[in-house]
Amino acid sequence: MNFEIDASLSGFFNPRGVALIGATQNPTKLGYGLARNLVQCNFPGEVHFVNPKGGMLLGKPLYVSVLEVPEPVDLAVILVPAQGVPQILRDCGRRGISAAIINSGGFRETGATGSALEEECLSLARKYKIRLLGPNCIGFMDTHLPLDTTFLPPPGPPAGEVAFLSHSGAICGTVIDWARGHGFGISRMISLGNQVDVNETDLLAPVAGDPHTRVITLYMEGVSNGRRFIEQAGRVTRHKPVIALKVGRFTSGQRAVASHTGALAGRESAFNAAFHRAGVIRAETSEEMFDWARALAWCPLPKGRQVVVLTNAGGPGVTAADSLEINGMQLASLNEQTLAALRDVLPPAASLHNPVDMLASATPEQYAACLRPILGDPGVQGVLVILAPPPMFSAGAVARALIPIIHNAHKPVVVALMGERLIQEAVEHFRAGHVPEYRFPERAASALGILAERAEYLERPLEQPEVPSNVHPQVVRQLLDQYIANNTTLTTSGFLPTETLCQLLEAYGIATLPVKLAKTANEAVELAQQLGYPVALKVASPDIPHKSDIGGVLLNLEDDTAVRQGFAHITDISRRMRPDAEILGAHVQHMLPAGQEVIIGAVQDQQFGTVMMFGSGGVDVEGLKDVGFALAPMTGEEAEHLLDCTWAGKKLKGYRSLPPADRQATKDALQRLAQLAADFPELEEIEINPLRILPQGQGAFAVDMRAKLNL
């Protein structure tokens, strides 16, 4: 696989020589620890130390300046007080060094003075064409080159297949120690620090291009450029899985929003939508991230979701069955040939039907004799083996019996190795054999679920959003320009009139019901007669986006008297509830036949662009929170995903007394609204609630809608 890798980053990943500026003879200083790691890591290139005091360190001379360091040197590692870094960069520039890691702190994280110092460093780096990692970072580690530019205490992590990129430096040392304790290998570890230059997106392609890396893990506090991240990650994930632990989900304070979509589509919803588009797997916890990384690095991908649980303990077997279902997996049905093979080796009291409970007396030979035919069953796509400490045999013996079978299988096998002290021999065997083992069935089931998710992602065809047919952006442009030119209160309201919004939707092929404005009760009656009974009345006010909240909506009005009384009622109550609002009258709208109702909407996100929402509509949308999110414009797969991940979308297929609704018309309306919002980002928020979906083949209609301009 070929990745387009920025040549300017080669100094980090394939340096011929490294110069440490800030090396020190004092063993209590970080500069000594970094020098020690550079020497002990067995880097195949040249290692040079710089300290203005001169002398010797670890058998190497201390040069007084980087200008004196002999060739070759491509990478500078800088660990000096922050105020001295700009001069060091000038020297590196004159020396022709192309890459620098600034391990020093004291920059943007300390306030305005540090921020100005950081900007000076960036300016110098650009002047001399130096790429910068950091500042305020732990450094970079490649276990296969090998190279260690960190000051973390030895020993480092075992060489492995999982790369770790982190916005946090502190977590890097923890991950290294945890990895070593769990027999888990790291290929590359990169601490990003303040990301004054090189960021997480820049590093995706070069890390994915490393032949030793099979999985990329990310500890993310944010993203430098959302659209570029989606583009780069989308290319990488087609070849190697990326798992992200995105932290900082909850922030105090929320901007005022005009729609349910705006209230629900927060920063994390945008990240979820972005990750889905790019194929990035989002972990909820650090433990999950590395649980999944082990499985993805060591297991073949399944060809389906049918799993067998093989256990020597009944209770954990039931737990595993529940956990598999929670993770979207199903218990496989074993064929008669497999069942016959199990009968031949297990006692009569054993349970042969999935979960296969071999009983506590199961021997290593029985484990192996059962696993082999189960893996050979064509109806089985994966196996979860549960191993509680056997009463008469060692867990290590079971592990030794299973590993050769697992290695020869083309289906994933994960192990719930339950216990602690009595299983340590088995732990070592499984880890040495690169078989993922977990302490409890829930974690093992989660790993199998992620393997299936990854397999399905790779099977998903590459699809680009297509502009729907019969959309007329020039009409929308004219309508918006005309409205802005004629509306003097835009800056105080921002809400488009319902009549104008209906025209916008219709220009993009979204079916609407005619909406007429009545300024008096008599006009309301005349319009109701024209549109045909029954009708709905809705207070018309640019200042009241949620009309039903104040009783400003009346439905199923059957005659002139009801309309006349209804007009008086909703205008009166609106003036009492919102005396500050401008009341224009009431909108009159013909009532549609019964159907299912959903909400579709769009908001503009600063990082990722237009974010779409779909879910259960009506006044309870924020309470129900049955919603999904995607980026706009949308592919057909993304529209399908939104329907499949919500109850509102699932029941469009029919549920109990509900007949199937027009699912295709729903998807079409969703994609058309997405295209409209993407084409016109000045539509800060746009929402249809509800979108009434009639029975199959009869279409979907925008019943109520609102949109706010941000110019």
Q: Look up the CATH architecture of domain 7-151.
A: 3-Layer(aba) Sandwich (3.40)
CA distance 367 to 382: 16
Neighbours of 590 (CB within 10 A): 17
- For 443-473, the pLDDT digits (tens) are 999 999 999 999 999 999 888 899 999 999 9
- Per-residue burial over 108-134, b if 16 or more Cβ lie within 10 Å, else e, is beeeeebeebbeebeebbeebebbbbb
Q: State residue 252's pLDDT score.
A: 41
User: Considering only 77-86, 171-180, 210-219, 468-477, which range has the smallest mean pLDDT?
Assistant: 171-180
DSSP state of 68: G
pLDDT at 483 over 90: no
Instruction: Summarize the confidence of residues 114-132 as an average pLDDT.
Output: 97
Instruction: Summarize the confidence of residues 220-231 as an average pLDDT.
Output: 93
Residue at token pair 């706009």: 632
Distant-in-sequence, close-in-space partners of 13: CB < 8 Å, separation ≥ 6: 142, 206, 210
DSSP state of 548: G
Distant-in-sequence, close-in-space partners of 455: CB < 8 Å, separation ≥ 6: 301, 302, 303
Q: State residue 260's pLDDT score.
A: 47
Q: State residue 251's pLDDT score.
A: 56
Kind and range of the H or E run holding 525:
helix 521-531
- For 72-84, the pLDDT digits (tens) are 999 999 999 999 9
In this prediction, residue 661 has a pLDDT band, given cuts at 50, 70 and 90, of very high
CA distance 444 to 436: 8
- pTM of the predicted model, to two decimals? 0.90
Contact 252, 297 (CB under 8 A): no
CA distance 171 to 286: 10
pLDDT at 365 over 50: yes
CA distance 645 to 560: 43
Residue 248 DSSP SS3? coil
Exposed/middle/buried for 523, CB within 10 Å: 0-12, 13-18, 19+? middle
pLDDT at 507 over 60: yes
CATH code for residues 514-591: 3.30.1490.20
In this prediction, residue 267 has a pLDDT band, given cuts at 50, 70 and 90, of confident
Q: For residue 476, give Cα distances in angstroms to 480, 672, 682.
A: 6, 13, 12
> β-pairing, 159-166 with 186-191?
parallel
Q: State residue 711's pLDDT score.
A: 67
In this prediction, residue 350 has a pLDDT band, given cuts at 50, 70 and 90, of very high
Contact 629, 649 (CB under 8 A): no
What is the residue extent of each domain of the chain?
Answer: 7-151, 300-459, 514-591, 596-709
Instruction: Summarize the confidence of residues 228-257 as an average pLDDT.
Output: 81
In this prediction, residue 355 has a pLDDT band, given cuts at 50, 70 and 90, of very high
Residue at token pair 């130096």: 130
Distant-in-sequence, close-in-space partners of 104: CB < 8 Å, separation ≥ 6: 22, 78, 79, 80, 81, 82, 85, 134, 135, 136
Q: State residue 491's pLDDT score.
A: 45
CA distance 471 to 489: 29
CA distance 95 to 89: 9
Q: State residue 248's pLDDT score.
A: 81
CA distance 496 to 131: 48
Q: Do 7-151 and 300-459 agree at the fold level?
A: yes
Q: State residue 1's pLDDT score.
A: 61
Superfamily of structural domain 300-459: Succinyl-CoA synthetase domains (3.40.50.261)
CA distance 161 to 183: 12
User: Considering only 225-234, 250-259, 678-687, which range has the smallest mean pLDDT?
Assistant: 250-259
Q: State residue 441's pLDDT score.
A: 98
pLDDT at 172 over 90: yes
Q: What share of the chain is helix, strand, coil (3-state, %, to 5)?
A: 40, 20, 40
Q: State residue 326's pLDDT score.
A: 97
Instruction: Summarize the confidence of residues 114-141 as an average pLDDT.
Output: 97
Q: State residue 657's pLDDT score.
A: 81
pLDDT at 613 over 60: yes
The yes/no answer on whether domain 596-709 falls in CATH 3.30.470.20 is yes
- For 535-553, the pLDDT digits (tens) are 999 999 888 877 888 999 9
Reading the block at residue 171, the tokens are 């977590």
pLDDT at 287 over 70: yes
Q: State residue 620's pLDDT score.
A: 63
DSSP state of 655: B
In this prediction, residue 617 has a pLDDT band, given cuts at 50, 70 and 90, of confident
CA distance 663 to 678: 23
In this prediction, residue 253 has a pLDDT band, given cuts at 50, 70 and 90, of very low
Kind and range of the H or E run holding 310:
strand 306-311
CA distance 677 to 495: 15
- For 293-325, the pLDDT digits (tens) are 999 999 999 999 999 999 999 999 999 999 999
Furthest-apart CA atoms within the chain: distance in Å: 101
pLDDT at 257 over 80: no
pLDDT at 21 over 90: yes
CA distance 591 to 240: 52
Short-list 499, 462, 463, 480, CA closest to 679: 480
CA distance 497 to 291: 52
User: Considering only 216-225, 334-343, 654-663, which range has the smallest mean pLDDT?
Assistant: 654-663
Short-list 181, 131, 130, 171, CA closest to 150: 171
- E strands, 392-471, are 413-417, 437-438
- Beta-bridge partner residues of 388: none
Q: State residue 255's pLDDT score.
A: 44
Nearest 10 degrees: Cα torsion 568, 569, 575, 578: -150
Lateral strand order in the sheet of 215-220: 147-148, 140-142, 186-191, 159-166, 215-220, 242-246, 281-282
